[in-house]
Copies of this chain bind each other. A is one copy, B any other.
Amino acid sequence: MTESSYEVRPIGRVESPLTDRASAPRQGDEGAPDAWLVFREDVHEGLRDLRVGDEVILLTWFDRAARDVLVVHPRGDLARQRQGVFSTRSPDRPNPIGLHRVTILAIEGSRILVKDLEALNGTPVVDVKPVLAQDTAER
């Protein structure tokens, strides 16, 4: 197996009232606030078909995560048995990519307001994708 690595270049940042990991909600549907995504001007054209009301998948980079962690207590709850990180959504994992399904509430140029985002202020944004039927289909 070759040992290449790849460079993630943030396309923007999260602007959020959440600044403290300890007090942030674990998931967006657990009381997370609305947050602005502030995109770099040089990716603006890629945003041109996003619309208010769209549901999108937002990928972030948890820049405050520990990358050498392979087992965690789910949700940080010490009473719960430790699990392999790939069975959890812990931000602490080898490649700390955050996956968030959010709804667009407003668009102002290269700033996009989304509903219920649990990412901390300053978190790098790395991608935005549309939700496909196959993401949500009952299997």
Chain A interface (Cβ < 8 Å from any Cβ of B): 1, 4-13, 27-29, 38, 40, 43, 45-50, 54-57, 59, 61, 63, 70-71, 83-89, 93-95, 97, 99, 101, 103, 124, 126-130, 132, 134-139
The oligomer's copy count stands at 2
Contacts of A61 in B (CB 8 A): 6
Contacts of A84 in B (CB 8 A): 45-50
The answer to whether B97 touches A126, judged by C-beta atoms less than 8 angstroms apart, is yes
Most chain B beta-carbon neighbours within 10 Å: one of A43, A49, A139: A49
Closest 3 CB pairs of A and B: A49-B87, A46-B70, A86-B128
The answer to whether B86 touches A129, judged by C-beta atoms less than 8 angstroms apart, is yes
Contacts of A40 in B (CB 8 A): 1
List 29 contacting pairs A-B, 8 Å CB cutoff, sorted by A: A1-B13, A4-B63, A5-B8, A5-B9, A6-B7, A6-B61, A8-B8, A9-B94, A9-B95, A11-B94, A29-B134, A43-B86, A45-B71, A46-B70, A46-B71, A46-B86, A48-B84, A49-B83, A49-B87, A50-B86, A50-B87, A57-B99, A59-B95, A59-B99, A86-B128, A86-B129, A95-B127, A97-B127, A99-B99
